[in-house]
Amino acid sequence: MATGHDHFDVIVVGGGVNGTGIAMDAAGRGLKVLLCEMNDLASATSSSSSKLIHGGLRYLEHYEFRLVREALSERESLLRNSPHIMWPMRFRLPHRPHLRPAWMIRTGLFLYDHLAKREILPGSRSIEFGAADPLKADITKGFEYSDGWVDDARLVVLTAKKAQQFGAQILTRTKCVKAEQGASEWKVTLRDMTNETEKTVSAKAIVNASGPWVSRLFGETLSMPAPKMIRMVKGSHIVVPRLNKDTEAYILQNEDERIVFVIPYEDEFSLVGTTDVDYEGDPRKAKISPEETDYLLDIVNAHFKRQLGPSDVVWSYSGVRPLMDDEQENAQKASRDYSFEVNSEKGKAPLISVFGGKITTYRKLAEAATDKLCQFFPEASGRWTKTATLPGGEFDNHESLEQKMRGDFPWLSERVLSRYVRTYGMTAYEFLKGCTSMEDLGVNYAGTLYEKEVEHLVKNEWAMTSEDILWRRTKQGLYATESDVEALDRYLMKTAAPETRATDLHHSA
């Protein structure tokens, strides 16, 4: 396979969940991989999801049985491999008989329980709501079922980390600006977005995993016509003060047949989403509209005793789904499945492009894409990711690790400890090494974010800006004031040195 500093077996364009998933799988099979991401890892769709590891109960209504079965069977593998950043979650579905009859929901839940093997997650059941529940008094009956929750942005970073452990070069803030297809290799120009310098490297194959940019990368960068277009559908979420004290999420049915989730979020908040709005323009500029905020608040107010207004929204975010364009009239009915396009005409270096996908199916998608890649690398080894633990995930469950850490770091505050467990798992031991008191964690920047953690993120997780740290590596931005952000910016300016730049390919993080 490839040797030399500037020649690779595979260049992956795009540092979202699909690009990092493919980089990790391919590097683990022995390929020499470079991944370039024009901004920060997970800075586009992969940090803007509803963060559910789910089969997608709703997709059954659209007969997407292949996707639902694959996603359902993936849930437990993912939950086992990354117990720090993912956990099981119960979902409560209030029953409103004029929207969907009980028999229909029961049938859907029966299928959901039985389409794939389940060992960790309990099955569904009917439930009754009472005065102690947060819902309005006229909602008395419902159902309960299981899915999982994931910190999507951290999933991407940890997948990139695992790829790096197998030798992959991960270049953030590096845009693929040109790629020329030759007979046996691609010549690829990478632009360092921090200083606008460029460098040319070569690779035997390219993977286009640029999500919402997948079709335009053909015209703008690869100089060839796109084999198909994607449909961009914006989805927005709002974060509001916690609506329910318990740990369950709610799945609310709306009059327009859409569903909206209310999910426990970062201790004190609830995450409410999502919307489905056809979108054109720059995916990075997607923003929630006042109509979307009202839409989400109206659904919450129709179900919960606690009534909310726009001033209760503490944060919001929007992302663009890169969906396969199956020409459905209605955006929410467009398929959430994925497909690949392989360009490998005789005498040309191959290109594999990813269309669509879900966070939940990213490992399967990456496995299938890497299988396709390996047709061009007969020396590569076989599938391996189904039982692969992501960095820091070498423990059983939150409770057991919390207990161990309480013993090992008795001085660590409960809030900090519990966040470290669900953000880093065992990796927290690396940056807590040598600390014996809260003072040893250094300056507090916001919420539970201390200097030690910031140092770790800059050194080991490609974090460069306060946004990377406050909104993707952690969600401590929820607690940060303007002056907190300025102080963090000042610290980063003083200390952060770009570790692996496009112009300096051999220095890996």
Ligand X SMILES: Cc1cc2nc3c(=O)[nH]c(=O)nc-3n(C[C@H](O)[C@H](O)[C@H](O)COP(=O)(O)OP(=O)(O)OC[C@H]3O[C@@H](n4cnc5c(N)ncnc54)[C@H](O)[C@@H]3O)c2cc1C
* Binding site residues, ligand X, CB under 6 A: 13-19, 36-39, 43-46, 48-52, 54, 175-176, 209-213, 217, 221, 235, 274, 319-322, 357-360
Is the CB of residue 298 less than 8 Å from the CB of residue 286? no
- The token duo for 94 is 């209030």
User: Which residue, 6 or 455, has its beta carbon nearer to ligand X?
Assistant: 6
CB 114 within 8 A of CB 60: no
Pick between residue 127 and residue 331 the one whose CB is nearest to ligand X: 331
336/452 with CB nearer ligand X: 336
Task: State the alpha helices, DSSP H only, in 193-351.
Answer: 214-217, 290-303
Give me the least distance between CB of 121 and ligand X, in Å please.
Answer: 16
> Could you give the CA distance from residue 430 to residue 391 in angstroms, rounded to a whole number?
12
Nearest-CA neighbor of 33 among 384, 297, 296, 380? 380
Would you call the peptide bond into 360 cis, given omega within 30 degrees of 0 as the criterion? no
- For residue 17, the number of C-alpha atoms closer than 13 Å in the C-beta half-sphere is 25
Closer residue to ligand X, CB minimum distance, 75 or 422: 75
Q: Name which of 155 and 428 has its Cβ closer to ligand X.
A: 155
- Least Cβ distance, residue 356 to ligand X (angstroms): 7
Cβ contact 360:78 at 8 Å: yes
Provide the pairing of β-strand 86-94 with 249-253: parallel
Count of beta carbons in the 10 Å neighbourhood of residue 328? 13
Are 476 and 468 spatial neighbours (Cβ–Cβ below 8 Å)?
no
Of the two residues 148 and 447, which places its CB atom closer to ligand X in the complex? 148
Helix axes 451-460, 482-495, angle to 10 degrees: 50
With CA atoms as reference, report the closest residue to 210 among 18, 498, 351. Answer: 18
Output 335 or 448, the one with its CB closest to ligand X. 335
Q: Are strands 86-94 and 141-150 parallel, antiparallel or unpaired?
A: antiparallel
Closest contact distance (angstroms) between CB of 322 and ligand X is: 6
Quote the least distance from Cβ 14 to ligand X, whole Å. Answer: 3
Strand partners, 187: 180, 202
Least CB distance from residue 35 to ligand X, whole Å? 9
Write down the least CB distance from residue 19 to ligand X, Å.
Answer: 5
CB of 67 to ligand X, least distance (A): 10
Shortest Cβ 3–ligand X spacing (Å): 25
Rounded least distance, CB 444 to ligand X, Å: 30
Residues 6+ apart with CB under 8 A from 499: 459, 462, 507, 509
**How many residues appear in the chain?**
509
Q: Which is nearer to ligand X, 332 or 448 (CB)?
A: 332
Q: Which is nearer to ligand X, 171 or 492 (CB)?
A: 171
Instruction: Please give the Cα distance from 384 to 382 (Å, whole number).
Output: 6
Only one residue has tokens 């979020």, namely 265
